[in-house]
Structure 1
């Protein structure tokens, strides 16, 4: 039986790794990091610091098909979106499946830092389940009512689960975000330093789901990342941000969206420059800060108090 902790460098997976070490012992833990090639240098350093302090073995996985996040975007000819998060599928899910099938070849428990209050979809999960669950039961249905299953290396997965257990444990499932931070601090660890700079999420830098506040923090602390985004948009002729990220009147680009049998429609979408201009010029009141917690320090989780 192998104990595998999926470690991204964020607070929830950090807390899960600590929990697993307490439960099973550091010598029995395998931390696994799926590297998208789009993380902040502080995150890479944080991951190394944590596993070194805990004396846990770390395995870093990458996609066999794409070199990194930008290579994925170039080959897909678009950035991912909240409705098409192929980044997670290609750079994290598939590499982990490859790892299980090609290298683990044993019973395993995958420890995940998933919490039910993170999103509606995660609230429907459970604290325990099977890793290959959706190869056996549908994760959704098409408009015609046809069930949808995971299919990546399906034949090999089905053969694998005939011989081996594929359990998932989510020890932080009923915890709040603050609970995980408190657990990390209580155990003498420091969370990812990006939280101290006001970022609420630290996986991928930035994430396609980043908030206006996080863009504001990018402008303040990492303006070069903004310039990189602008350059990639120019090179790849696509936008990092979704059409509804800022009001349409502030968007400088348009695209024709084909609707099949329905009439095509024109959609306005923003460039990174549009987004940063909007955020910089907007008054520091109202909805720009609606996603922030009422705290007195810069840290999203009151880490400096």
Structure 2
């Protein structure tokens, strides 16, 4: 037990679920927090309910008091993503967290023992040494695949984004992704969202993808473009902090 509040940051993904479950076994009084974006796969609600039963603890939901979802941010801010990151992360994940967290909190993250996650966790520690951070999955050498296996053995069906071929259970779509394979996969499984983003990116003159090193509009991706290895950034509530060091997205 500790006098400091332990906060397990749950992202409706397999890794954060396993990290939360592990921490609760050691600290049953830990708090579970989830930042809602309003733009994730609808099956996430089923997964969250399954995890609540697995944790035997409620999840505290944090939500922006200014924006309903990512589309609301994009359309009102008239900005998608750029060198300063994406405003959706700032408005829907960072701002609610900053308003809710306490200076003495111990933050638990579901970073896995995969190389990219280990680097992100280390960068976070290096740049934000004032935060007390725990990464139980890295400490135990658990990879993303291992977390999916643990979820499966617990009798919980993972969020469908993984089975559809996406690397992360992000919002649909994630504007920080530049991989044409990612956007081709979005077009395949979520054509309405793809079309909506195609139109909005044209309006805002934002070329979200790269083909052969050149920035292109996503509607320029060939119809037969392969959807294998759909690289996309991991997006938890500290994604923007870890990668952009609190740089604010431009205000139009």
- 1:118 is aligned to 2:86: no
Corresponding residue for residue 220 of structure 2: 274
> When the two structures are superposed, what TM-score results if normalisation uses the length of structure 1?
0.62
The 1:29–1:290 alpha-carbon spacing in structure 2 relative to 1, beyond 3 Å, is closer
- Encode CA deviations 1:222-258: one digit per residue, 9 max, x unaligned: 2222122234335x5243614xx2247xxxxxxxxxx
- Encode CA deviations 1:75-106: one digit per residue, 9 max, x unaligned: 432212465234323321221111114xxx8x
Distance in 1 (alpha carbons) for counterparts of 2:30 and 2:228 = 40
Report matched runs for 1:40-55 at 5 Å: 40-55=41-56
Distance in 1 (alpha carbons) for counterparts of 2:181 and 2:45 = 23
The 1:60–1:190 alpha-carbon spacing in structure 2 relative to 1, beyond 3 Å, is same
The 1:228–1:290 alpha-carbon spacing in structure 2 relative to 1, beyond 3 Å, is closer
Distance in 2 (alpha carbons) for counterparts of 1:53 and 1:206 = 28
Question: Do the aligned residues in 2 keep the contact of 1:29 with 1:56 (CA within 8 Å)?
Answer: no
Corresponding residue for residue 18 of structure 2: 15
Aligned length: 224
Distance in 2 (alpha carbons) for counterparts of 1:178 and 1:36 = 25
- 1:289 is aligned to 2:225: no
Corresponding residue for residue 109 of structure 1: 106
Decide which of 161, 170, 173 is 2:135's aligned counterpart.
Answer: 170
Corresponding residue for residue 219 of structure 1: 187
State the shift of 1:123 in Å: 5.7
Question: Do the aligned residues in 2 keep the contact of 1:33 with 1:58 (CA within 8 Å)?
Answer: yes
- 1:5 is aligned to 2:3: no
State the shift of 1:290 in Å: 5.2
Distance in 2 (alpha carbons) for counterparts of 1:183 and 1:87 = 31
- Encode CA deviations 1:26-62: one digit per residue, 9 max, x unaligned: xx23221111222121223322332144322111112
Point out which structure has higher relative CO (alpha carbons under 8 A, 6+ apart): 2
The 1:9–1:81 alpha-carbon spacing in structure 2 relative to 1, beyond 3 Å, is farther
> When the two structures are superposed, what TM-score results if normalisation uses the length of structure 2?
0.73
* SS of equivalent residue, structure 1 residue 289: coil
- 1:189 is aligned to 2:190: no
Corresponding residue for residue 258 of structure 1: none
Q: What stretches of structure 2 of length at least 5 have no aligned partner?
A: 232-252
Distance in 1 (alpha carbons) for counterparts of 2:51 and 2:80 = 31
Corresponding residue for residue 297 of structure 1: none
Distance in 2 (alpha carbons) for counterparts of 1:10 and 1:210 = 21
Structure with higher Rg: it is 1
State the shift of 1:220 in Å: 2.8
Corresponding residue for residue 152 of structure 1: none
Distance in 2 (alpha carbons) for counterparts of 1:43 and 1:219 = 20
Question: Do the aligned residues in 1 keep the contact of 2:207 with 2:215 (CA within 8 Å)?
Answer: no
Q: What stretches of structure 1 of length at least 5 have no aligned partner?
A: 137-165, 249-267, 293-305
Distance in 2 (alpha carbons) for counterparts of 1:273 and 1:291 = 16
Give the alignment's Cα RMSD to 1 decimal: 3.1
Corresponding residue for residue 79 of structure 1: 80
Report matched runs for 1:65-76 at 5 Å: 65-76=66-77
